[in-house]
Amino acid sequence: MEPLVKRSFRIFWLLGALPAVALAGDFIDTRVTFAVANSNVFVKPGETTPSEPGTGFGASRQNTQFYDNFNTRFTGFETLSNISLYKKSPSFFNGFDAEAAFNIVVIANPSGAIQLFDNASFVKINYKPAGWGEREEISLTGFPVSADRFRLGFAWKLSWGGDSAFTYNQGPGLSSTGRPAAVPGAKLQITRDRWYAFVGAKTGLLLNNLSNVQERQYGLLAGGGVDLVPGRVRWEVNGGYFSRGIVPSLAQSGVRAPVNAMGASTQFSVFSDVIQPSLDLRLYKNDPDIMQRFFRPERYPGGFSYQLSVEGSVLAQTLVDPDKFASTRNQAAGAVALQARFKLDYWRFYAIGLFRTLSFIQFDVPGLPPYVDFASGATVRPEIWAAVGGDKHWPEAHLTLGLIFGVQNPASVSAPRFDFGGANPLPGLSGPRTVVVRDVNLFAILPADEQVFPIYSVKGTFRFDLSEYFAILGEVFYNRDNNRVTFRDSTESIAQPVFEQPNQLGFNAVVQARF
């Protein structure tokens, strides 16, 4: 019996759902990953938070570093497939054509469960005025399920305005998979040879804690870009405004306090070859993009090429004022990223620098604690990190070796009053504390009177390509992190924060097929 997926695609072909020249494989991009990993060989199960169970099959986000996955939401260890059923056809009316795609991501979880979610399926109407070029058009795109890939910002790590803008306080809107409920949207765009501009909107559902019913919330997005020097220099700007419901804690006191978020992002790029957005942000816009495989190995055309970019975002949102009863105030947030990538024959070099305020990291929560601004007297420190690396490819041996160095000052907040222990905090969670925030809602509560230390990281990488779509990958990494904390019972049987082993030595051995 032939595989179900291939049989399904043949059925679609017979029904005319796919172009006659397309093959089933052209619409499936799959990564099958088998990993053997250990995030820290220096510790035993239960000695860290989260616990490292020991060497075994499978890898998770624990096995990634702060500089990894800058342009994607995925860890790289997933077994997943990007599937698209796509159709483009001319219209009955001169100058118009239409296209549509049913895009889904299929992820096989370590538990054996299969997770599916929409990946910006769309319907799109295109109009090309007389005399416009092949790639120029006016288009209207509708995202009937999820417009998550229609985002603001540019690098994935700094992008905002996706489904997560309507994540918290959804009530029954939270999907059964634990992911935020999908948010549909629409986008109107003009694309010319040297510039583009767009406007768009999204609608999400959030719980109104006063009436205990869901209410429709809105997001407005707009932006554009221009090639200042065609094929060499580009400047892009976008921004948006989002209504995000009301503050739940104030609603319990009968106070209706709307949460509104807004901001703008810009990027300036200098490059010698085409800049492709990440897998997460790229949309299936036309036939050539459909046929491109996201997981294809790196190409080495020879010669020298480069990509340089600087990106910045300034955001703000309404949160509870902790210093004034039943009132709100605006909390500012910001981020800056610099990227430099160079390729010289079979050498690649890159450098990435990132600055994010703690309010930017927690922007989609929103706030820390949720819906609350930082109290007066709190010392809030941003996340700052930089990483440099390079690798060399040997084409005859199909081998690539690389090395990466990074240093990070993680975001943190120190406050005279600690609000993370609840109304009746344990003795170990009371008094002045410093909280290290590694990523969204990923905290480490330091013992009293302790400072935040820089994190140092080095990673060696190995890649051996057995064929165009089959590779063996290896990583060995070492981190020095004096901010790792776990909780252990004191002699009085009270849980107290204590420092973990600061040295981390881990590895990932991966066999990966891409097709």
DSSP state of 249: H
Residue 424, token pair as written in the block: 């009746």
Supply the DSSP symbol for 25. Answer: G
Q: Hey, what are 413's tokens?
A: 């907040």
Domains within the chain, CATH numbers bracketed: 4-514 (2.40.170)
Dihedrals phi, psi of 38, to nearest 5 degrees: -155, 125
| CA–CA dist 35, 508 (Å, integer) | 7
Give the whole-angstrom CA distance, residue 318 versus residue 395: 54
DSSP state of 49: S
Strands 233-246, 258-271: pairing is antiparallel
Reduce the secondary structure of 118-156 to three states and give it as a string: ECCCEEEEEECCCCCCCCCEEEEEEECCCCCCCCECCCH
- The angle subtended at Cα 484 by Cα 483 and Cα 489, nearest 5°, is 120
Residue 145 near residue 181, CB atoms below 8 Å: no
Selection from 246, 183, 175, 174 nearest residue 215 by Cα: 246
> What confidence score (pLDDT) does residue 179 get?
55
Provide the 3-class DSSP secondary structure of residue 294.
Answer: coil
CA distances from 385 to 188, 335, 408 (A): 37, 12, 4
How many C-beta atoms surround the C-beta of residue 330 within 10 A?
13
Q: What is the pLDDT of residues 410-441, one digit of tens each?
A: 999 998 766 555 556 555 555 678 899 999 88
Would you say 204 and 183 are in contact if contact means Cβ atoms under 8 Å apart? Answer: yes
Rg (CA), the chain: 24
Count the helix, strand and coil residues of the chain and give each as a percent rounded to the nearest 5: 10, 50, 40
* The residue to which tokens 């999908």 are assigned: 182
Q: How far is CA 186 from the centre of its chain?
A: 21
- Residues 6 or more apart whose Cβ sits within 8 Å of residue 264: 237, 238, 239, 313, 314
Whether the CB-CB separation of 385 and 408 falls below 8 Å is answered with yes
Q: What is the pLDDT of residue 173?
A: 41
315 with 259: CB under 8 angstroms?
no
Residue pair 328/247 in contact (Cβ under 8 Å)? The answer is yes
Residues 6+ apart with CB under 8 A from 274: none
Tokens of 78: 């997933």
How many angstroms separate the CA atoms of 101 and 99, rounded?
7
Residue pair 65/406 in contact (Cβ under 8 Å)? The answer is yes
Spatial contact of 457 and 476, defined as CB atoms under 8 Å apart: no
Question: What residues contact residue 297 under an 8 Å CB cut-off, 6+ apart?
Answer: 465, 468, 471, 514
Pair of tokens at residue 382: 């941003």
| Confidence at residue 21, expressed as pLDDT on a 0 to 100 scale | 42
Which pLDDT score, from 0 to 100, does residue 421 have? 54
Tokens of 285: 């816009």
Q: Tens of pLDDT along the chain (515 residues)? A: 444 434 443 333 333 333 334 444 455 678 899 999 999 999 999 888 888 999 999 888 889 999 998 988 888 888 988 888 888 888 899 999 999 988 888 998 877 888 888 988 999 999 999 999 988 999 999 999 999 889 999 999 999 998 888 876 554 444 434 456 789 999 999 999 999 999 999 999 888 888 888 889 999 999 999 999 998 999 999 999 999 989 988 988 888 999 999 999 999 999 987 655 555 555 433 333 444 455 667 788 888 999 999 999 999 999 999 988 888 999 999 999 999 999 999 999 999 999 999 999 999 888 888 899 998 888 999 999 999 999 999 999 999 999 999 999 999 999 876 655 555 655 555 567 889 999 988 888 888 778 899 999 999 999 999 998 899 999 999 999 999 988 777 666 667 788 888 999 999 999 999 88
| Per-residue model confidence (pLDDT) at position 491 | 63
Beta pairing partners, 240: 221, 263
CA dist., res. 279 & res. 293, Å (int): 10
- Residue 153's Cα: distance from chain center in Å? 11
Cα–Cα distance for residue pair 116/111, rounded to 1 Å: 14
Per the CB < 8 A criterion, the answer to whether 151 and 314 are in contact is no
